């Protein structure tokens, strides 16, 4: 970066490290994107600044669930409250809650099956909280569960709001920015170093395992684990997906943050064989979101829009399971609050995600919306 002109827009020191948001001349952008010390936020800074300057949509009234009285959809909830919501949901006629497996620490991983159209065998899959600190994915998944039930959607859903319950609990009790699951380190020499606990669940799927964008260092935040599906969380999810492989027609994994809807591949920049079909869906999703909230989401293959990574669920479902429409969305924001997204952005994020999802469903399932 020695010759590139960099303007520092914001910076702070954290744990002895200097963090900064910088503006780079467009001709140096591709170089910055390749540099692992930089994380790319936006190529349209002016628009980003304008959007952050406008007051965010603020729902003055608390937004309660229409199905579970007293449950606020516009708040973040610890795991116990999430489970209470799911329990109440399970009393609905067309929904049931399944225990699909146990986490490393023995918590139940729960999926909600919503049968809106029992005569149709096709399903939409949605999951959240693969990465523990991405709280907005849990709130959004709960809102999508509610919408899937109340909107009289004509399609069936299977939604796993918290793939990583151990990590999620840890973010509420010890470290808000925890990412991985909570498996013990491989050897006792690491027991005193917290960063050496856990496996990055989105590096643990059986696709290009151990390749670029993953790590074999247990102390890395992108540690891939000892082998594909070594983790109880990923193997539980994979087992259910595999069992439903002929039924799931749309797979969407929720993450944050970056404001991006992406398609395969993550592990290579090579174009996937369904690129045109994916982009047709993604462009409609982007437009629907913009129409709903005015927010800009980028769209495209994960490897070119974000970074290269191996062992991702969307690549596994696409390339190994055969779910053509496999996507990963990075929800709000573009890096102002990052993982600590304020709760007044929960509803706007959930609503725009539902708008995008609805359009994707219309295109893929060819149903009236
Ligand atoms: Zn993530």
Q: What percent of the chain has pLDDT over 70?
A: 87
CA of 91 to the centre of ligand 1 (A): 31
Q: Which domain holds residue 49?
A: 6-53
Q: What is the length of the chain?
A: 369
Neighbours of 81 (CB within 10 A): 14
CA of 366 to the centre of ligand 1 (A): 30
One domain, residues 140 and 180:
yes
One domain, residues 101 and 246:
yes
Catalytic member of 134, 231, 295, 330: 330
One domain, residues 267 and 325:
yes
One domain, residues 125 and 23:
no
One domain, residues 22 and 141:
no
Number of domains, the chain: 2
Q: Is the pLDDT reported for residue 10 higher than 90?
A: no
Are the C-beta atoms of 262 and 302 separated by less than 8 Å? yes
One domain, residues 123 and 222:
yes
CA of 303 to the centre of ligand 1 (A): 14
CA of 257 to the centre of ligand 1 (A): 8
* Tens-digit pLDDT profile for residues 180-212: 999 999 999 999 999 999 999 999 999 999 999
313: exposed, middle or buried (C-beta count within 10 Å: 0-12, 13-18, 19+)? Answer: buried
Name the 3-class secondary structure at 158.
strand
Number of H helices, E strands in the chain: 10, 10
Q: Could you tell me the two tokens for 293?
A: 């909230």
* Tens-digit pLDDT profile for residues 249-280: 999 999 999 999 999 999 999 999 999 999 99
The count of C-alpha atoms lying within 13 angstroms of the C-alpha of 367, restricted to the half-sphere facing its C-beta, is 18
Q: Is the pLDDT reported for residue 38 higher than 80?
A: no
One domain, residues 39 and 142:
no
Q: Could you tell me the two tokens for 30?
A: 């591709």
330 is catalytic: yes
One domain, residues 315 and 356:
yes
CA of 256 to the centre of ligand 1 (A): 6
One domain, residues 133 and 250:
yes
One domain, residues 39 and 100:
no
One domain, residues 46 and 154:
no
């Amino acid at each position: 970066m020695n010759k590139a002109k960099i303007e520092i827009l914001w910076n702070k020191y954290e744990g002895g490290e200097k963090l900064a948001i910088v503006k780079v001349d467009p001709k140096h952008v591709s170089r910055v994107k390749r540099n692992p010390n930089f994380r790319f936020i936006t190529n349209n800074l002016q628009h980003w600044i304008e959007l952050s300057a406008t007051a965010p949509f603020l729902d003055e009234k608390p937004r309660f669930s229409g199905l579970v009285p007293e449950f606020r959809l516009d708040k973040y909830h610890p795991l116990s409250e999430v489970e209470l919501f799911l329990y109440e949901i399970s009393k609905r006629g067309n929904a049931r809650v399944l225990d699909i497996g146990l986490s490393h620490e023995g918590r139940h991983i729960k999926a909600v099956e919503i049968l809106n159209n029992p005569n149709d065998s096709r399903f939409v899959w949605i999951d959240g909280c693969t990465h523990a600190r991405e709280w907005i994915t849990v709130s959004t998944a709960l809102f999508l569960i509610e919408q899937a039930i109340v909107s009289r959607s004509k399609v069936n859903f299977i939604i796993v709001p918290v793939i990583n319950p151990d990590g999620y609990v840890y973010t509420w009790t010890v470290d808000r920015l925890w990412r991985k699951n909570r498996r013990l380190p491989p050897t006792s020499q690491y027991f005193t170093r917290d960063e050496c606990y856990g496996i990055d669940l989105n590096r643990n799927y059986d696709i290009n395992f151990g390749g670029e964008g993953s790590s074999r260092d247990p102390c890395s935040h992108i540690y891939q684990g000892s082998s594909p599906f070594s983790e109880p969380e990923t193997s539980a999810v994979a087992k259910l997906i595999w069992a439903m492989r002929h039924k799931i027609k749309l797979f969407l994994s929720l993450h944050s943050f970056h404001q991006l809807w992406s398609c395969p591949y993550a592990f290579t920049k090579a174009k996937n064989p369904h690129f045109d079909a994916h982009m047709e869906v993604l462009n409609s999703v982007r437009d629907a979101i913009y129409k709903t909230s005015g927010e800009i989401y980028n769209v495209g293959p994960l490897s070119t829009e974000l970074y290269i990574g191996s062992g991702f669920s969307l690549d596994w479902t696409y390339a190994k399971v055969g779910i053509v429409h496999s996507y990963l969305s990075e929800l709000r924001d573009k890096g102002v609050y990052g993982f600590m997204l304020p709760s007044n952005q929960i509803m706007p994020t959930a609503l725009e995600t539902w708008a995008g999802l609805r359009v994707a469903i219309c295109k893929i399932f060819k149903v009236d919306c």
